[in-house]
Amino acid sequence: MILAVESSCDENSAALVSKGAVLAVSTITQSVHLQFGGVVPELAGRSHLELMDERVLEVMRIAGASIKKVRAVAATTGPGLVGSLLVGNNYAKALAWSLGKPFIPVHHMEAHLWSAETDEHELPLPFLILLVSGGHTMLVLVKGLRNYEVIGSTRDDALGEAYDKVGKLLGLPFPAGAQMDILAQRGNPRAIDFPVAMRDDSFDFSFSGLKTAVSYALRDDPSLSTPERMPDLIASFQHAALSSIELKMRRAVERLKPRALCAAGGVAANSELRERLAQIADRNRITLAVPPLKYCADNAAMIGYLAEKLLSAGLHERNFPVRPRWPLTELNAIATTY
Ligand code: KG4
Ligand code: ZN
C-alpha cells in the first residue's frame, strides 16, 4: 500500500493506492483564494500546512488501514508552487523516514499522463494524450514509462487559463471552466464567429488571440455578457478553442497512429472536449481513455498510482529536492535511476 500526497497548487489531497487500485482518496480545494480571483502562493503553502495531516488521517480512516501497512510514501515533487511543494514533500519524507520506508518523488504532469489508467486497465502503447490544465496544454506521445515525446504545446496561454480569463471578463468566479462548460450547453456555438488559431502544420496551440477576440466582442457589444446572451458567447468561444484542439489531435492520430487516445488535467472534465475525442477515437477505431471526472482535477490518487509504477521500476530517491520548474521531457533521461 502506497500513501501519496499532492500539494503542488491549491488542491490538498492524500490517497492510498494498492496494486493499481485506489483504496481511498480525500481532496480539498483551498477556499482561501476565492476572494482574490486566483491562487495566492503564500496562502496556498500555509493552507497546505493546516490541511495535510487531516487528509492523511481521513484516507487511513476511509480505508480502515494501519500506517504499518504503508510500504512507501510519495509526494508531488514538482512542477508547482515552491512553498506548497515543500509542505507536502517534507511531510511525506519525514513520514517515510520515521517508518523506515522509501520516499517516492513524483512529477505532477507525469502523474496526469498516467491518470487515464486509474480505475481502468493498462493502456495499449503508444498512446496519445492531451494534457490540459490551468497551467499546461501539451500533446504527448507516451511510448512507455519514462519514454515521452512532447509533440506540441501552447505558445502562450494554457487552455484552462483561456477559460478562466474569459470567465473573468464575464464576471464569473475563478476558476470558471466548470461553470462555462454547463453554460455552453445552453448556447449556440455558431452565434459568434471567433477565429480558430494555429491551423498550421505543427501540433502547437495558441489561445491568447482568442481571448483578445472575446474581449473585443464584449467591448463592441456589452449585451453579450447578459445572462440571456452569455451562453452563446461561451459556446462560441469554446467552439473555436476546441476546434483547434480537435484539428491537431485528428492530424496527430493520422500521422502517429497511436493505439489509444487520452486526455487528462482539469480541462479534460469538459463535456464537449470528451465528446470530440470520443468521435476521433471512434473514427480511427482506437481506445479512448479519459480519467473519471473525480481524477481529472489535481488529486493524490494519480500520484499514488504512478508512485507504485515507479517503485516497481526501482525509481525512488529519498534526497530528491522539490523542482518548482521541471520539464516533462527531462524525465526520459532518468529512465533507470534518479
Ligand atoms: O488540473 P487542474 O485542476 O489544475 C491545474 O491547473 O493544475 O485544472 C484546473 C483548470 C482550471 O483552469 C479550470 O477552469 C479548468 O481546469 N476546468 C475546466 C473544466 N473543469 C475545470 N475547463 C473547462 N471545462 C471544464 N469542465
Ligand atoms: Zn494538474
Distance 243 CA to ligand 2 centre (A): 23
pLDDT of residue 129 exceeding 50 = yes
pLDDT of residue 121 exceeding 80 = no
Please name the residue whose Cα sits nearest to atom 6 of ligand 1.
134
> Which pTM does this prediction carry?
0.94
Span between the terminal Cα atoms of the chain, in Å = 22
Chain mean pLDDT for the chain: 95
Residues with CB under 5 A from ligand 2 (ion): 133, 298
Structure confidence at residue 294 as a pLDDT band (50, 70, 90): confident
pLDDT digit string, tens, across residues 265-290: 999 999 999 999 999 999 999 999 99
pLDDT of residue 336 exceeding 60 = no
Q: What is the mean pLDDT of residues 94-110?
A: 96
β-sheet with 2-6: strand ranges across: 21-29, 11-18, 2-6, 72-78, 103-107
Written as nine digits, the cell of 92 is 511525506
Distance 193 CA to ligand 2 centre (A): 31
Distance 175 CA to ligand 1 centre (A): 7
Q: Would you call 206 exposed, middle or buried from its count of C-beta atoms within 10 A (0-12, 13-18, 19+)?
A: middle
C-beta of 177 in contact with ligand 1 (< 6 A): yes
Q: What is the mean pLDDT of residues 130-141?
A: 96
Share of the chain above pLDDT 70, in %: 98
Among 240-254, 297-311, 317-331, the minimum mean pLDDT is found in 317-331
What pLDDT does residue 334 have?
72
* 108, 133, 207, 294: residue to mutate for ligand 1 pocket, most atoms within 8 A of CB: 133
β-bridge mates for residue 73, sequence order: 3, 103
CA 322 – CA 308 distance, rounded (Å):
19
Distance 72 CA to ligand 1 centre (A): 30
CA 303 – CA 17 distance, rounded (Å):
9
pLDDT digit string, tens, across residues 147-174: 999 999 999 999 999 999 999 999 999 8
pLDDT digit string, tens, across residues 170-208: 999 989 999 999 999 999 999 999 999 989 999 999 999
CB 124 within 8 A of CB 106: no
Written as nine digits, the cell of 104 is 517516492
What pLDDT does residue 320 have?
87
CB 92 within 8 A of CB 62: no
CA 289 – CA 142 distance, rounded (Å):
13
CA 252 – CA 9 distance, rounded (Å):
31
Please count the other Cβ atoms lying within 10 Å of the Cβ belonging to residue 318.
14
